[in-house]
Amino acid sequence: MFDILNQYGVSDVHLKNDPTSGLQAVIAIHDTTLGPAVGGCRLIRYTNQEDALIDAARLARGMTYKAALAGLPAGGGKAVILSPPEPFERAALFRSFGDFIDSLNGRYVTALDSGTNLDDMDIVASRTRHVSSSTLLGDCSLPTARGIFSGIQVVYGQQMGHGNLQGARVAIQGLGHVGMNLARLLHQAGAQLIVSDIDTTRADQARERFNAQVVPPEHIYAQPCDIFAPCGLGGVINETTIDLLRCPIIAGAANNQLADESLAEVLQDRGMLYIPDFAINAGGLIYALMKYRNADDTEIEQRLSQIPTTITALLHHASRNRTSPWHSALKMAEAKLQGAGKIPVSPAADAPTNSVLAMAQ
């Protein structure tokens, strides 16, 4: 366990086992230099408990970098709930999860993520105030999609000399709330869409609404396109799929898109411009955190408008230092953490001493 925490520089991990509700949850807190650890809660099936811990640790680290790059007063954390066997009482599960979060006294603030919805967050909010997604606060999928869209315009503009997406071919993998909103924005901008989703109903909706070409999920990687936008779960770019890609730009919503971070250099060597997820998909975090802090719409819009500025700075940093956007994004985030008094732990470095809190009944 400690090897995993050291690998990702995680500060502490909290575990909860509640046999009554069926809750088995992991909360990983990566860093709180800039503020409380903020990150979504996933409810998915994991092959084993170690996979759940690795997922939480990687995602928590990404949230630290995402918040730092976006200039937000927050650190990085993530919660994962191991989906219990069916049937289970969902309300009881999330009441227990809310109590778990509340026991951390604001050190971690949760939000939506894969497998959870606003109704779940409303139940959590009935047990703790440390939640940044709810029906009252609103859905953060559109701000996420807007941020990605504006970032894509910047990246495409650098490659093509203009940010006009009319006629650009974009392959979208995953049509959840963010992926579907991104498809709508790209369609309105005149892009030609190629889409895939394991849910054929969603794929059919994209075909009808946006005149999208639908392909089977296993075929999306090999589609000739200008931009490949992974918008589902992470780890989709691996040693097998990387050889299938036929695109100059990779920019999407999914967290931890690279199965192995060394693939960032492979993409760079092959002339593919990979924009790290924690740089381009910060819109949801910005919206959720600012709503949680009672910011007004003007401040939220101002912060969202900084995403293309961040992407521009990232591309300039990478070009100036002759490195990949992945490493430039890490360096830029770490510089902000250093400026706040934190000596960060990069993925390849040793991490500080970690503390693991024992499983609580």
State how far the Cα of 121 lies from the Cα of 274, in Å rounded to an integer: 32
State how far the Cα of 272 lies from the Cα of 266, in Å rounded to an integer: 9
Per-block average pLDDT, block size 10, for the chain (361 residues)? Answer: 89 96 97 96 94 95 96 97 94 98 97 92 97 87 96 94 92 97 99 98 98 98 98 95 98 95 96 97 96 94 97 96 96 90 45 33 29
76, 30 in Cβ contact below 8 A?
yes
Q: Classify domain 2-139+346-360 by CATH architecture.
A: 3-Layer(aba) Sandwich (3.40)
2-139+346-360 matches 141-280 in fold? yes
Residue type for 72, please?
A: L
Q: Would you state the pLDDT for residue 358? A: 32
DSSP H or E run through 205: helix 200-210
Q: Which residues are known catalytic residues?
A: 78
Q: Would you state the pLDDT for residue 353? A: 32
The CATH code for residues 141-280 is: 3.40.50.720
Lookup: tokens for 308:
């293309």
Nearest residue to 245 (alpha-carbon basis) of 226, 231, 260, 261: 226
Which residues are 173's β-sheet partners? 196, 230
DSSP tag of 194:
E
Domain extent listing, the chain: 2-139+346-360, 141-280
